């Protein structure tokens, strides 16, 4: 096995417990969409539920079905809008969809009634993300409609925050306005005598910066997988008072990508390496070929910008990263052998957040892009 992703479940559990310690009794929904952010949805779902998560969240009906078929019986929230053709499968899997409008509520209610079942649903309110969800002033009407449907049961109300992972003063203010708008809409629903169910809003950024958003449940994603997109210390001065009673959260990256040297070649000064001839050897040197490329998830944009770790030493990737391989400059007198293990990111190498910074993206994209052909190796005690 040349290239594989090590998933440190002990770190995931530690991250979860760190978040839980900050929250108290607030429930946790663990997002496992996109194959658990690339970490393996089933294993992450199982681990999360074993350590106390209330539910998990997916983005598609097929993702939810995979979990059900593998024996997951806990509540599964469906974050994204499904196609009407997927409703029979949604009902069979008893997924809990977010409802943004009466039209979709009617369609799903009709099919639930035909099956003589009652499906749990959550109202989704758009408070500023401008994506899914009804407007706050429409929330009561939608909640009333759902409670009038014999095939639906309103068991939750949610919104999503657009800039909670930013400590910029204007962004913090925008998040506060989203929260105020959401809470007002929920209060209107309650005053009408309707139980809004589990009220939830907080994503990873909000868990770090906005304790007023924790409510009945949180939905932290990237934070549980080991990455902070914002730090408490960066909050505006007038907002730090809200955070003064909390110890800053520290999390560890859960994924580590490793590969191996498949060949070592002597390259003469002036010779070029890989497609496009983007790197020229400045001296006689040795280049190692690693069995990992952009088809495995190593970004092509990190060509000539990233270093891997071999035996605790860093070696630069040189030349363009190929679909299945990349080249690493070992220098003129390497003390390494063929088949030696290389850490591509995580562990002794820079983590996915640092790799993301080099390529102008976010750690979510790095871990999600680790291809299915890369086996996930789960180890609770591999450091």
pLDDT in tens, 250-292: 999 999 999 999 999 999 999 999 999 999 999 999 999 999 9
What pLDDT score was predicted for residue 24?
Answer: 84
Domain limits, CATH 2.40.37.10, in the chain: 255-379
Tell me the catalytic residues.
33, 275
Average pLDDT over residues 162-171: 95
* pLDDT beyond 60 at 382: no
* pLDDT beyond 50 at 310: yes
What pLDDT score was predicted for residue 380?
Answer: 65
What pLDDT score was predicted for residue 383?
Answer: 38
Average pLDDT over residues 290-307: 98
The 10s digit of each residue's pLDDT in 186-237 is 999 999 999 999 999 999 999 999 999 999 999 999 999 999 989 999 888 8
Confidence of residue 245 (pLDDT cuts 50, 70, 90): confident
Average pLDDT over residues 15-41: 96
- Is the CATH code 3.40.1160.10 the one for domain 9-243? no
Ranges 23-27, 176-180, 251-255, 373-377: which has the least confidence: 23-27
Confidence of residue 381 (pLDDT cuts 50, 70, 90): very low
* pLDDT beyond 70 at 79: yes
* pLDDT beyond 80 at 1: no
Name the nearest CA neighbour of 308 among 355, 359, 372, 268: 355
* pLDDT beyond 60 at 5: yes
Average pLDDT over residues 25-30: 95
Average pLDDT over residues 49-78: 98
End-to-end CA distance of the chain: 20
CATH code, residues 255-379: 2.40.37.10
Average pLDDT, the chain: 96
Name the nearest CA neighbour of 304 among 283, 332, 275, 324: 275
What pLDDT score was predicted for residue 123?
Answer: 98
What pLDDT score was predicted for residue 379?
Answer: 87
What percentage of the chain carries pLDDT values higher than 70?
99
Domain limits, CATH 3.20.20.10, in the chain: 9-243
The 10s digit of each residue's pLDDT in 329-363 is 999 999 999 999 999 999 999 999 999 999 999 99
Higher pLDDT pick, 39 / 233: 39
Ranges 14-28, 228-242, 258-272, 293-307: which has the least confidence: 228-242
């Amino acid at each position: 096995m040349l290239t594989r992703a090590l998933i440190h479940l002990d770190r995931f559990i530690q991250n979860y417990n760190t978040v839980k310690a900050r929250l108290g009794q607030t429930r946790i929904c663990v997002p496992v969409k996109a194959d658990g952010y690339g970490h393996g949805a089933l294993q992450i779902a199982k681990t999360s539920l074993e350590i106390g998560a209330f539910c998990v969240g997916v983005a598609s009906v097929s993702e939810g079905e995979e979990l059900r078929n593998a024996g997951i019986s806990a509540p599964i929230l469906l974050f994204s809008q499904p196609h009407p053709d997927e409703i029979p499968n949604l009902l069979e899997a008893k997924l809990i969809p977010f409802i943004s409008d009466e039209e979709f509520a009617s369609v799903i209610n009709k099919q639930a009634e035909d099956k003589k079942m009652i499906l749990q649903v959550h109202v989704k309110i758009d408070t500023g993300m401008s994506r899914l969800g009804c407007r706050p002033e429409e929330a009561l009407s939608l909640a009333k409609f759902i409670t009038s449907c014999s095939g639906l049961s309103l068991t939750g109300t949610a919104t999503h925050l657009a800039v909670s992972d930013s400590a910029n003063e204007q962004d913090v203010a925008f998040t506060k306005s989203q929260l105020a708008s959401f809470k007002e809409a929920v209060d209107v629903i309650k005053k009408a005598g309707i139980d809004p169910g589990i009220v939830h809003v907080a994503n990873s950024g909000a868990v770090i910066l906005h304790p007023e958003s924790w409510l009945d449940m949180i939905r932290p994603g990237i934070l549980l997988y080991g990455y902070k997109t914002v730090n408490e210390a960066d909050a505006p001065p007038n907002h730090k008072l809200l955070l003064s009673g909390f110890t800053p959260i520290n999390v560890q990256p859960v994924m580590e990508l490793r590969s191996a040297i498949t060949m070592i070649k002597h390259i003469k000064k002036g010779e070029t390496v890989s497609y496009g001839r983007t790197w020229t050897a400045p001296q006689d040197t040795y280049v190692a070929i690693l069995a990992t490329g952009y088809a495995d998830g190593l970004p092509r944009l990190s060509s000539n910008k990233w270093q891997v770790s071999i035996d605790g030493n860093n070696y630069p990737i040189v030349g363009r990263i190929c679909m299945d391989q990349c080249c690493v400059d070992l220098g003129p007198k390497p003390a390494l052998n063929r088949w030696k293990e290389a850490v591509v990111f995580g562990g002794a190498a820079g983590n996915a957040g640092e790799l993301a910074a080099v390529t102008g993206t976010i750690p979510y994209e790095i871990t999600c892009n680790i291809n299915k052909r890369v086996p996930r190796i789960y180890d609770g005690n591999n450091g």
